[in-house]
Structure 1
Amino acid sequence: MISKEHIINRFISYVTIDTESDPNSKTTPSTEKQWNLAKKLAEELKSIGMEDVSIDEHAYIMATLPSNVEHDVPTIGFIAHFDTSPDFTGANVKPQIHENYLGGDILLNKEEHIVLSPDYFEDLRQYTGQTLITTDGTTLLGADDKAGICEIVSAMEYLINHPDIQHGKIKVGFTPDEEIGRGAHKFDVEKFAADWAYTMDGSQIGELEYENFNAASAVIKIKGKIVHPGYAKGKMINSMYIATEFINSLPRMETPEHTDGYQGFFHLHDMRGDVEQTELQYIIRDHDKGHFEARKEVMKKLTAELNSQYGREVITTEIKDQYYNMKEKIEPVMHIVDIAEEAMEAIGITPIIKAIRGGTDGSQLSYMGLPCPNIFAGGHNFHGRYEYVPVESMIKATEVICKIAELTAKKDFI
Structure 2
Amino acid sequence: MSNVKERFLRYVQVETTSCEANECCPSTPGQKVLGEMLVSEMQAMGMKDAFMDEHGYVYGWIPAKGAEGAPAIGLIAHMDTSDAVPGKTVPQVIPSYDGGVIRLKNGVEISGFSFLPGLKGQELIVTSGDSVLGADDKAGVAEIMTLCERMTAPDAPNHGKICVAFTPDEEIGRGADLFDVKGFGADFGYTVDGGALGELEYECFNAASCIVRVKGVNIHPGSAKNQMINASLVAMEFAGMLPPWERPEHTEKYEGFYHLTGMSGNEEAAELRYILRDHDLGKLEEKKAMMTTVCETLNKCYGEGTVAVELKDSYRNMKEIVEQHPEILERAKKAFEENGVEPIIKPIRGGTDGAQLSYKGLPCPNLSTGGYNFHGRKELIPVEAMERMTDVLVALVSAK
- What is the TM-score with the length of structure 1 in the denominator? 0.94
Aligned counterparts, 1:137-152, within 5 A = 137-152=129-144
Corresponding residue number in structure 2 for 1:107: 103
1:78 maps onto 2:75 in alignment = yes
Partner AA of 1:49 in structure 2: G
Say whether 1:97 aligns with 2:93: yes
Contact 1:51 1:66 in 2 (8 A): no
How far 1:67 moved relative to its partner? 0.7
The AA in structure 1 aligned to 2:219 is V
- The reply on whether 1:65 has 2:74 as its aligned counterpart is no
Report the Cα distance in structure 1 between the residues aligned to 2:5 and 2:156, rounded to whole angstroms. Answer: 26
Match for residue 30 of structure 1? 27
The alpha-carbon deviation at position 129 of structure 1 amounts to: 1.2
In 1, are the aligned partners of 2:212 and 2:309 still within 8 Å (CA)?
A: yes
**How much has 1:23 moved relative to structure 2?**
1.3
- CA distance change for structure 1 residues 265 and 70 in 2, over 3 Å: closer, same or farther? closer
* Distance change (3 Å), C-alpha of 1:323 and 1:55: same
Show the 5 A alignment for 1:68-217.
Answer: 68-91=65-88, 93-109=89-105, 112-117=106-111, 119=112, 121-161=113-153, 163=155, 165-217=157-209
The residue that corresponds to 1:281 in the other structure is 273
Question: Percent identity between the aligned chains?
Answer: 47
Deviation at 1:70, TM superposition (A): 4.6
Q: CA deviation at 1:313?
A: 2.4
Is the deviation greater in 242-251 or in 262-271?
Answer: 242-251
- After superposition, the C-alpha distances for 1:65-93 in whole angstroms (9 at most, x for unaligned) are 111125511111100111111111122x2
**How do 1:265-414 and structure 2 match up within 5 A?**
265-406=257-398, 409-410=399-400
How big is the shift at 1:243? 1.8
Deviates more, 1:240-249 or 1:326-335: 240-249
Task: Tell me the SS of whatever aligns to 1:399.
Answer: helix
Question: What is the CA RMSD across the aligned residues, in angstroms?
Answer: 1.4
Quickly say closer, same or farther: Cα 1:42–1:71, change in 2 above 3 A. Answer: closer
Please name the residue that 2:215 is paired with: 223
Look up the SS of the partner of 1:243 in the other structure.
helix
Selected match of 2:252 from 256, 260, 265? 260
Q: Is the 8 A contact 2:201 2:345 kept in 1?
A: yes
Secondary structure of residue in 1 paired with 2:245: coil
Check 1:70–1:209 CA distance in 2 against 1; reply closer, same or farther (3 A cut): closer
Q: How far 1:235 sits from its partner (Å)?
A: 1.3
> How far did 1:11 drift?
1.1
Q: Provide the C-alpha distance between the structure 1 equivalents of 2:146 and 2:321, rounded to a whole number of angstroms.
A: 29
Name the aligned partner's letter for residue 129 of structure 2: G
> Is contact 1:224-1:236 (8 Å) kept?
yes
Return the offset for 1:220: 0.8
Deviations 1:132-162 (A, max 9, x none): 0111111211111111011111112112225
Residues 60 and 174 in structure 1, CA contact (< 8 A), matched pair in contact too: yes
How far, CA to CA, are the matches of 1:298 and 1:339 in structure 2?
A: 41
CA contact (8 A) 2:207 2:313 kept: yes
Does structure 2 retain, via aligned residues, the 8 Å contact 1:51–1:65?
no
> Which deviations, in whole Å up to 9, do the C-alpha atoms of 1:344-388 show, x marking residues without a partner?
011110111011111101111111111110000111111221111
Aligned partners of 1:183, 1:8: CA distance in 2, in Å? 25
SS of equivalent residue, structure 1 residue 300: helix
Q: TM-score, normalising length from structure 2?
A: 0.97
Q: Which residue of 2 aligns with 1:42?
A: 39
Corresponding residue to 1:21 among 15, 18, 22: 18
Deviation of 1:51 after TM superposition, in Å, equals 3.8
Aligned residue type for 1:268? L
Which deviates more, 155-164 or 275-284?
155-164
Counterparts of 2:90 and 2:308 in 1: how far apart (Å)?
Answer: 45
SS at match of 1:19: coil
Quick one: structure 1 residues 90 and 312, their matched pair in 2 at CA, closer, same or farther if it must change by over 3 Å?
closer
Change (3 A) 1:68 1:314: same
8 Å CA contact 1:208–1:375 kept in 2: the answer is yes
SS in structure 2 opposite 1:253? helix
Structure 1 alignment gaps of length 5 or more: none
1:202 alignment partner, SS class: coil
CA contact (8 A) 1:220 1:316 kept: yes
Cα offset for 1:164?
A: 5.2
Equivalent residue of 1:166, what SS?
coil
Aligned residue among 40, 51, 56 for 1:54: 51
Match of 2:104, as an amino acid?
L
Report the Cα offset of residue 21 of structure 1.
Answer: 1.4
1:204-257 deviations in Å (ceiling 9; x for gaps)? 111010011111110111121111222222211122222222111111110000
Whether the aligned pair in 1 keeps the contact of 2:336 and 2:342 (CA below 8 Å) is yes
8 A contact 2:86–2:132 mirrored in 1: yes
